[in-house]
Chains A and B, each alone.
Chain A
Amino acid sequence: MRHTLSVLVENEPGVLSRVAGLFSGRGFNIESLNVAPTLEQGISLMTIVTDGEEQIIEQIIKQLRKLISVIKVVDMNEIKCVDREMVLLKVNAMEQYRAEVLRIVDIFRCKVVDVSPSELTLEATGDRGKISALIQLLHRFGIKEIARTGSVTMRRSMQVD
Chain B
Amino acid sequence: MKHKGSQILLESMIKEGVDTIFGFPGGAVLDIYHQIPNYPLRHILTRHEQGAVHAADGYARATGRTGVALVTSGPGATNTVTGIATAYLDSVPLVVFTGQVPTKLIGNDAFQEVDIVGITRPCTKHNYLVKDVRDLAKTIKEAFYVARSGRPGPVLVDLPKDVMADACQFSYPERIAMRSYNPHYEPNLKQVRKASSLLKKAKRPVIFAGGGVIASNAHEELTWMARTLQIPVTTSMMGLGGFPGNDPLWLGMLGMHGTYVANMGINNCDLLISVGVRFDDRVTGKLESFAPEAKLVHIDIDPTSIRKNVSVDVPIVADCRLALQSLRTEVEKLLESEDLSTRYAPWREKLMAWNQAQPLCCPEGGDRIKPQAVVQKLYEITQGEAIVTTEVGQNQMWATQFYRFHQPRTWISSGGLGTMGYGFPAAIGAQIAFPDKLVLDIAGDGSIQMNSQELATAVSYGLPVKIIILNNGYLGMVRQWQELFYDRNYCSTCMHHNPDFVRLAQAYGAEGYRVERMEDLDQVLRQALESKQTTIVDVVVEQEENVYPMVPAGAGLSEMLLV
On chain A, the residues within 8 Å of B302 by CB distance are: 66
- Cβ-based interface call for B227 (8 A): no
On chain B, the residues within 8 Å of A9 by CB distance are: 180
How far, in whole Å, are A71 and B177 apart by their CA atoms in the complex?
Answer: 13
On chain A, the residues within 8 Å of B179 by CB distance are: 71
Instruction: Flag if B129 contacts A13 (CB, 8 Å).
Output: yes
Among B122, B303, B304, B307, the residue within 8 A (CB) of A55 is B307
A60 to chain B, nearest CB (A): 10
Max chain A C-beta neighbours (<10 A), residue from B117, B125, B303: B303
- Cβ-based interface call for B17 (8 A): no
- Known contacts A18-B121, A21-B122, A25-B122: does B129 contact A65 (CB below 8 Å)? no
On chain A, the residues within 8 Å of B532 by CB distance are: none
How far, in whole Å, are A14 and B178 apart by their CA atoms in the complex?
Answer: 17
On chain A, the residues within 8 Å of B146 by CB distance are: 68
B134 to chain A, nearest CB (A): 16
- Name the CB-closest residue of A to B305: A62
On chain A, the residues within 8 Å of B181 by CB distance are: 68
On chain A, the residues within 8 Å of B117 by CB distance are: 14
Describe A's contact surface by its main secondary structure: helix
Instruction: Digitize B465-484: 1 where CB-to-A-CB distance is under 8 Å, 0 elsewhere.
Output: 00000000000000000000
Instruction: Flag if A63 contacts B178 (CB, 8 Å).
Output: no
Chain A count of residues within 8 A CB distance of the other chain: 20
Instruction: Flag if B121 contacts A66 (CB, 8 Å).
Output: no
* CB-contacts of A50-109 with B (<8 A): 55, 58-59, 62-63, 65-71
B311 to chain A, nearest CB (A): 8
- Cβ-based interface call for B343 (8 A): no
- Known contacts A14-B121, A21-B122, A68-B180: does B307 contact A58 (CB below 8 Å)? yes
- Known contacts A18-B121, A21-B121, A59-B308: does B126 contact A68 (CB below 8 Å)? yes
Instruction: Digitize A107-121: 1 where CB-to-B-CB distance is under 8 Å, 0 elsewhere.
Output: 000000000000000
How far, in whole Å, are A143 and B455 apart by their CA atoms in the complex?
Answer: 68
Q: For the side of the interface on B, what is the size category?
A: 10 to 19
- Cβ-based interface call for A127 (8 A): no
Max chain B C-beta neighbours (<10 A), residue from A17, A18, A66: A66
How far, in whole Å, are A63 and B307 apart by their CA atoms in the complex?
Answer: 12
- Known contacts A17-B118, A58-B307, A63-B304: does B129 contact A68 (CB below 8 Å)? no
How far, in whole Å, are A58 and B317 apart by their CA atoms in the complex?
Answer: 15
Instruction: Flag if A71 contacts B121 (CB, 8 Å).
Output: no
Instruction: Flag if B180 contacts A62 (CB, 8 Å).
Output: no
Instruction: Flag if A71 contacts B122 (CB, 8 Å).
Output: no
How far, in whole Å, are A26 and B129 apart by their CA atoms in the complex?
Answer: 24
A43 to chain B, nearest CB (A): 9
B140 to chain A, nearest CB (A): 15
* CB-contacts of A1-58 with B (<8 A): 9-10, 13-14, 17-18, 21, 25, 55, 58
- Name the CB-closest residue of B to A14: B117
Among B180, B304, B308, the residue within 8 A (CB) of A10 is B180
Among B122, B129, B178, B304, the residue within 8 A (CB) of A66 is B304
On chain B, the residues within 8 Å of A25 by CB distance are: 122
On chain B, the residues within 8 Å of A21 by CB distance are: 121-122
- Known contacts A17-B121, A21-B121: does B304 contact A69 (CB below 8 Å)? no
- Known contacts A13-B129, A17-B118: does B304 contact A62 (CB below 8 Å)? yes
Max chain A C-beta neighbours (<10 A), residue from B117, B181, B302: B181
Among A17, A18, A62, A68, the residue within 8 A (CB) of B178 is A68
How far, in whole Å, are A62 and B303 apart by their CA atoms in the complex?
Answer: 7
How far, in whole Å, are A13 and B179 apart by their CA atoms in the complex?
Answer: 17
Instruction: Digitize B301-339: 1 where CB-to-A-CB distance is under 8 Å, 0 elsewhere.
Output: 011100110000000000000000000000000000000
Instruction: Flag if B303 contacts A66 (CB, 8 Å).
Output: yes
Instruction: Digitize B112-128: 1 where CB-to-A-CB distance is under 8 Å, 0 elsewhere.
Output: 00000110011001100
B183 to chain A, nearest CB (A): 10
On chain B, the residues within 8 Å of A10 by CB distance are: 180
- Name the CB-closest residue of B to A69: B180
How far, in whole Å, are A4 and B303 apart by their CA atoms in the complex?
Answer: 21
How far, in whole Å, are A145 and B530 apart by their CA atoms in the complex?
Answer: 78
Q: Contacts A14-B117, A14-B118, A66-B304 known; list 8 others, CB within 8 Å.
A: A13-B129, A14-B121, A59-B308, A62-B304, A67-B180, A69-B126, A69-B180, A70-B180
- In the complex, 18 of the A-B residue pairs with CB atoms within 8 angstroms, ordered by the A residue number, are A9-B180, A10-B180, A14-B118, A17-B118, A17-B121, A18-B121, A59-B304, A59-B307, A59-B308, A62-B304, A63-B304, A65-B303, A68-B125, A68-B126, A68-B146, A68-B178, A69-B180, A71-B179
Q: CB within 8 Å of B: which residues of A?
A: 9-10, 13-14, 17-18, 21, 25, 55, 58-59, 62-63, 65-71
**When A and B form their complex, which 7 residue pairs have the shortest distance between CB atoms, in order from nearest?**
A68-B126, A71-B180, A62-B304, A62-B303, A25-B122, A68-B181, A63-B304
